[in-house]
A = this chain, B = another copy of it.
Amino acid sequence: MDLIPAPRLVRTAPRGEDFVLNAGTSLDAGPGTEGTARWLRGALGGAFGVDLAPGAGGIVLRVDGGLDAEAYRLDVGPERVEIAGGDAAGVFWGAQTLRQLAGERAFRRAPVGGREARLPAVAIEDAPRFGWRGFMLDVARHFMPKDVVLRYLDLLAAHKLNVLHLHLTDDQGWRIEIKRYPRLTEVGAWRTGTKVGLRESTRFDDRPHGGYYTQDDIREIVAYAAERHIRVVPEIDVPGHSQAAIAAYPELGNTDVIDTTTLPVLTTWGVNPNVLAPTDSTLRFYEGVLEEVLDLFPADVSPFVHIGGDECPKEQWRDSKTAQARIEELGLRDEDELQSWFIGHFDRWLTERGRRLIGWDEILEGGLAPGAAVSSWRGYAGGIAAARAGHDVVMCPEQHVYLDHRQDGGPDEPIPIGWVRSQEDVYRFEPVPAQLAEEGARLTRRVLGAQANLWTEALDTVRAVDYQTFPRLAAFAEVVWSDLPAPALRDHDGFAARMTAHRARLDALGVEYRPPGGPHPWQRRPGVVGRLKEGPPPIV
Which residues of A does B touch, CB under 8 Å? 34, 37-38, 41-42, 45-46, 49, 51, 53-54, 108-113, 143, 145-147, 150-151, 189-190, 206-211, 214, 216-217, 219-224, 226-227, 461-463, 507-508, 510, 512, 520-528
Contact = CB atoms under 8 A, between A and B. Distances in A.
Nearest to A209: B522
A224 B41 contact: no
B206 A145 contact: no
A278 to B, nearest CB: 31
A208 B524 contact: yes
A198 B146 CA distance: 30
Given A34-B51, A54-B53, A206 B527 contact: yes
A220 B521 contact: no
Nearest to A41: B41
Given A147-B510, A522-B208, A220 B108 contact: yes
Given A108-B220, A112-B223, A210-B520, 14 more contacts: A34-B51, A41-B42, A42-B42, A49-B227, A109-B224, A110-B226, A110-B227, A147-B147, A189-B522, A190-B521, A208-B522, A208-B524, A210-B522, A220-B508
B111 A223 contact: yes
A173 to B, nearest CB: 9
A461 B211 CA distance: 14
B110 A220 contact: yes
Given A147-B510, A208-B524, A527-B206, A216 B112 contact: yes
A46 B54 contact: no
A525 B207 contact: yes
A220 B112 contact: yes
Contacts of A226: 110
Contacts of A214: 507
- Per assembly, the copies of the chain total 2
B147 A151 contact: yes
A46 B154 CA distance: 13
Kindly list the 6 A-B residue pairs having the minimum CB-CB distance in the complex, ordered from nearest: A210-B522, A110-B223, A110-B224, A112-B219, A190-B522, A146-B510
A223 B111 CA distance: 6
A50 to B, nearest CB: 9
5 contacts: A41-B42, A42-B42, A42-B46, A108-B216, A211-B512
Contacts of A190: 520-522
A526 B206 CA distance: 8
A33 to B, nearest CB: 12
Contacts of A37: 51
Contacts of A145: 462-463, 510, 512
A207 B203 CA distance: 12
Contacts of A143: 522
A234 to B, nearest CB: 16
Contacts of A216: 108, 112, 507-508
A19 B255 CA distance: 57
Candidate in A108, A206, A210 with the most chain B CB atoms within 10 angstroms: A108
A512 B211 CA distance: 10
Nearest to A115: B223
A2 B514 CA distance: 46
A534 to B, nearest CB: 26
A77 to B, nearest CB: 26
A189 B49 CA distance: 31
Nearest to A145: B510
B206 A521 contact: no
Contacts of A208: 521-526
Contacts of A221: 110
A86 to B, nearest CB: 23
